[in-house]
Amino acid sequence: MGLPRTLASTSTLALILSAGCGGDDGGGLPGGSCDAVPPEASGEGTYYAATGAGNCSFDPSPQDLMVAAMNAVDYRTAAWCGACLAVTGPSGSVTVRVVDQCPECAQGDLDLSPEAFALLAPLSAGRVPITWHMVACDVSGPIAYHFKDGANPFWTALQVRNHRYPIAKVEAMQGGAYVEIPRVDYNYFVAASGLGDGPYQLRVTDQRGHVLEDTGVALGDDVTRTGAAQFPACP
């Protein structure tokens, strides 16, 4: 599968429906509100030959290798995919984006790219104590919807990309009401019976309780549709 084509969105509306309090944590992350400070986690940091790709199904990002794999306990059906984490180690700190899962890592551990680990400790250290917490990703432009290769009206798989905070849930308007699309371990929201021909009206909730709504999102096969807005940052 080659790199996906990025197409202009046919979206006609993006509406920020709420901004912060009482947000759904999606069963994965704590602190689903702008009023709550994301808690600090601790564990051990290691490193691996990261490319930016991995279990989260993002494309390789050779231009940005400040990335990490989340331990399997915290990974929780891709709940942390795309999250940005401020990580502190013995010699410094770095902000990384979660792109993969580390099956052998214990809860609280992160497996970092060598480039990120080197900002925390010498590579020769191999394994070091770390603390980390979620922060807003430094993104520009609106969120995007990537339709998986093979997506069609009868099996529709989409992924949210370029988001400021990790995604809690995605819903699609079906028969006059929003229906939640289940998330799978490889970080796609998959409607096993499909969403129809489209275009779609989608509602996306992030882990801090922000909600965006997009209409006119056209179906595609291995394509990315640009939304019309971005989640606001918590103060």
Burial of residue 138, with CB atoms counted within 10 A of its CB: 0-12 exposed, 13-18 middle, 19 or more buried: exposed
| 3-class secondary structure, 37 | coil
Question: Which domains are delineated in the chain?
Answer: 5-28+141-226 (2.60.40.760), 41-135 (2.40.40.10)
Contact at 8 Å (CB) between 71 and 109?
yes
Task: State residue 235's pLDDT score.
Answer: 76
Q: What is the predicted pLDDT for the residue at 228?
A: 92
pLDDT of residue 177: 97
CA gap 146, 137 in Å, rounded: 18
pTM, full prediction: 0.86
Q: Which is nearest to 157 in space by CA: 16, 26, 4?
A: 4
Q: What is the pLDDT along the chain (235 residues), one digit of tens a residue?
A: 333 333 333 443 455 444 443 333 333 455 567 877 788 999 999 999 999 999 999 999 999 999 999 999 999 999 999 999 999 999 999 999 999 999 999 999 999 999 999 999 999 999 999 999 999 999 999 999 999 999 999 999 999 999 999 999 999 999 999 999 999 999 999 999 999 999 999 999 999 999 999 999 999 999 999 999 999 998 7
Q: How far apart are CA 1 and CA 210, in angstroms?
A: 33
87, two tokens: 């990580």
Nearest to 216 by CA among 191, 197, 199, 230: 199
Q: CB of 233 within 8 A of CB of 16?
A: no
